[in-house]
Structure 1
Amino acid sequence: MRIVCASQPAPGHFLPTAPLLRALLAAGHEVTVVSSPAFGPFVRRAGFRFRPVGEPWLAADVTPRPFAVGESPTVRDGDYTFALDTTRANAWAAGDVLADLRPDLLVREPAEFGVTFAAERAGVPTSTVGVGFLRTGDRLLADGGARLLPIRAALGLPDRVADLDALSRRRYVQTAPEVFEPVPDALTTLRLVDRVRRPADAPAVRPRALVTMGTLLTSENLLARIMDDLARLPVPCVLAAGDRHEEVAATAPDHVEVVGFTDLAALAAECTMMICHGGFGSLTTAFTHALPIVVLPYNVDQDFNADRVERIGCGRRVDWHRLGEGDLADAVAAVHDDPAYRVAARRLADDVAALAPPAQAAATLVTELAADLA
């Protein structure tokens, strides 16, 4: 089977599809990732074939919305011009790429629409791999979904909200535990991260917070405010700072160890809690390793994720405007010391462990598609 994956050019969008794609490769299927030319090096380093489509841009160069560009989830009237122009251009440009690749299935992440519309226009079946919550209905419209309808109309596709909603639900692969958000009609679940097991004779993990603010945090102001508050924390920290680790380490407090790109799961196994922005990849790592969480949401779907973490009982949220007021240190102390947060985190880890492993999810997807095409 020939499979194409369509993703926005951002690691946080693409990486949740990677376990399923690797399982499909292992089962003997062809897999090609289609995205912005600038994203090609990242995809190839991850071990996948790549075909470029559209203009070269990276989400790290703009402030992202779920499929657009905006300032934060609290700014509801952002400028969608860039996203709409990119979606429109990709929807037309991807036609030739798909005609060449002749895919039997398009696997997409929920924020990619340009290549997705081209695939729909070509009659290619689609499957959506969830990244956090299910973006349909009111949520999709709140994220600017209605602005996509004229693009669909120009492509000759059905342009009702219900059609766009159905597209996002089709062959949905749920990557979040049901307690995070139930999706009754999901085709299958998918476990994104396996827990890193420490050796049986390893010493007990000492109190330490894993700090990560994702792959798209580029604001100097936000980084400076984080570092100021980390100096007040009551526990040692390890801060995953990606390619900025040398720069960040120069101003880090003594009790904060700064590391570059690394295996976040391996770090999580050596920590007792997490402080993060509420990105789904970071949360999944925390969930898998039963880490209580303090969430500092600053963009896209992180507001929803932070609220859900509090509702589940496995963590607390601290809003950015409260940094410098002592709220982060208070939340860290509460989450670290109150056993109720750890109990809830352990229950959530059990839920994650019950999700389907990638090979099983891939087999379910292929079987369903074959039956649908028969």
Structure 2
Amino acid sequence: MRVLIPAFAHTSHFHGLVPLAGALRAAGHDVRVASQPGFADTITGAGLTAVPVGADHRLLEAMQEKGAELQKYSANIDLSRPEGFDWDYLFNLFDLSVPYFYSVINDDSFVEGLVEYARHWQPDLVLWEPYTFAGAIAARACGAAHARVLGASDLNAYFRRAFVERLGERPAGERPDPLRDWLTDAAGRYGVSYDEELVVGQWTVDMLPERFRLDLSLPTVPLRYVPYNGAAVVPDWLKTAGTRRRVCLTTGSTGTSFTADPAVFHRYLQVLAEVDAEIVVTADAAALQEAGPLPENVRAVGFAPLDVLLEDCSAVIHHGGFGTWSTALYHGVPQVMVPFVWDTVLRAQQTAAAGAGLYLREGEVTAEELRDSVARVLAEPSFLDQARRLRDEVRAEPSPRDVVTVLEEITAGHRGVGTVAAAG
């Protein structure tokens, strides 16, 4: 079958899709990944066929304008109680997200180009990155089956459900819905009518282990997370075991979780170095050393393939990003998490509750508390035991190869449903 994978140009959102795309190709299916033109090299670098459509998005500019305001609705939120989000919070969240995120990465040129290509190529299945709503529109426009592939908690469905519930409580005539209005317009240009399927797909492929998922009761196909870090080379220092235990400190693509000030971050490293371990920091070594020399047991590297690095680590300190968290889970590494936004806090709480790590509140963690937390995780065997139990649980999830068979069966039952004419 032909499989089209629309994903907006963002490395961390794309990497999780690669193992499934590779498994589909290995099974003999024709797979193509559609994204903005500037992302083509990243796609082909993963060994996949790229379909550039539309113009490069301007998400960075949008976030510079409204990112701080959006952060008000994403920082340290409690996802355990959907009823705790009132109308004002939910409306403002969507009222900001639609013009400054959703419609930016799914701009008119991208939607138009994707629909045009889908109608030409006629895929049987469209697997879309969960914020790339253009994928759902294109699937409906050409009659393909379609599903989202989740690489984190299902926040779209979670907040959408809460919003619709609050919307229904509003007086008639006072029910604004920014997401519905935008998608109605964007889809309507191609003869596609709006319904909630454009938000959540016909079903969902979920890489989050079942115990960590939000309870949304949507049709779901579980998929084992398989680490993929993009083009990577194993550095010489990782070809052999270290002389002492290794601890990874990674801050993802958004900076440190502790402070934006390099000098303050440098002090955290000075104190953390008191732990009897080699501290491997995935940060710019030159920038760190401008604040002073690093301790002898701190190794700053600009980049290291996380899949390779964590395989040789006794603990990892990080910000809670899905890729880092999932890779640590996959390798059975205890985690010290300092999360801040969206679902990172929930994952940290759940990991700590499972006994596989510790959760520290961002903005409240002193260097000494971080040091003591890492020392505790290294000293108490229960953390490693529980991390390995989670590793075994994660690796028991269906592999990408297993999921291909499931997708073939489901696609056969959905293909052609909701097709609209090419002239729509």
Match of residue 132 from structure 2: 112
Structure 1 pair 327–220 and aligned structure 2 pair: CA distance change class (3 A): closer
Match of residue 294 from structure 2: 253
Match of 1:83 among 86, 101, 108: 101
Structure 1 pair 174–338 and aligned structure 2 pair: CA distance change class (3 A): same
3-state SS in 1 of match to 2:300: strand
What letter matches 1:191 in structure 2?
A: Y
Match of residue 178 from structure 1: 210
Match of residue 356 from structure 2: 314
After superposition, the C-alpha distances for 1:209-246 in whole angstroms (9 at most, x for unaligned) are 112222343999526244331221124311223xx455
Match of residue 317 from structure 2: 275
1:350 aligns to 2:392 (yes or no): yes
Match of residue 328 from structure 2: 286
After superposition, the C-alpha distances for 1:275-309 in whole angstroms (9 at most, x for unaligned) are 11111111111001111111122444322322222
3-state SS in 2 of match to 1:332: helix
Work out which structure has the larger RCO, using CA pairs closer than 8 Å and 6 or more positions apart in sequence: 2
1:152 aligns to 2:152 (yes or no): no
3-state SS in 1 of match to 2:384: helix
**CA distance, structure 2, for counterparts of residue 17 and residue 113 of structure 1:** 16
Match of residue 226 from structure 2: 192
1:158 Cα deviation (Å)? 4.7
Match of residue 247 from structure 2: 209
3-state SS in 2 of match to 1:209: strand
Match of residue 36 from structure 1: 36
Structure 1 pair 258–311 and aligned structure 2 pair: CA distance change class (3 A): same
What letter matches 1:253 in structure 2?
A: L
Q: Work out whether residues 39 and 58 of structure 1, in 8 Å CA contact, stay in contact via their aligned partners in 2.
A: no
1:34 Cα deviation (Å)? 1.2
What letter matches 1:74 in structure 2?
A: A
**CA distance, structure 2, for counterparts of residue 57 and residue 19 of structure 1:** 25
Bigger Rg, structure 1 or 2? 2
Match of residue 21 from structure 2: 21
Match of residue 227 from structure 1: 266
What letter matches 1:53 in structure 2?
A: V
Q: Work out whether residues 36 and 56 of structure 1, in 8 Å CA contact, stay in contact via their aligned partners in 2.
A: yes
1:332 aligns to 2:333 (yes or no): no
1:23 Cα deviation (Å)? 0.7
Structure 1 pair 138–24 and aligned structure 2 pair: CA distance change class (3 A): closer
Structure 1 pair 121–245 and aligned structure 2 pair: CA distance change class (3 A): farther
Q: Percent identity?
A: 25
Q: Normalising by the residue count of structure 1, what TM-score does the alignment of the two structures yield?
A: 0.83
**CA-based RMSD:** 3.4
Structure 1 pair 355–275 and aligned structure 2 pair: CA distance change class (3 A): same
What letter matches 2:180 in structure 1?
A: L
Structure 1 pair 285–166 and aligned structure 2 pair: CA distance change class (3 A): closer
What letter matches 2:389 in structure 1?
A: R
215-224 vs 87-96, greater mean Cα deviation? 215-224
Deviating 4+ runs (over 6 angstroms) = 142-145, 202-205
**CA distance, structure 1, for counterparts of residue 347 and residue 62 of structure 2:** 21
3-state SS in 1 of match to 2:353: helix
**CA distance, structure 2, for counterparts of residue 333 and residue 44 of structure 1:** 42
Q: Work out whether residues 226 and 323 of structure 1, in 8 Å CA contact, stay in contact via their aligned partners in 2.
A: no
1:325 Cα deviation (Å)? 5.5
1:360 Cα deviation (Å)? 1.3
Q: Work out whether residues 88 and 151 of structure 1, in 8 Å CA contact, stay in contact via their aligned partners in 2.
A: no
Structure 1 pair 45–137 and aligned structure 2 pair: CA distance change class (3 A): closer
What letter matches 2:56 in structure 1?
A: P
1:174 Cα deviation (Å)? 2.1
1:70 aligns to 2:67 (yes or no): no
Match of residue 199 from structure 1: none
Where does 1:111-150 land on structure 2 (aligned, <5 Å)?
Answer: 111-140=131-160, 147-150=178-181
Structure 1 pair 60–30 and aligned structure 2 pair: CA distance change class (3 A): farther
1:370 Cα deviation (Å)? 2.5
Structure 1 pair 148–118 and aligned structure 2 pair: CA distance change class (3 A): farther
Match of residue 421 from structure 2: none
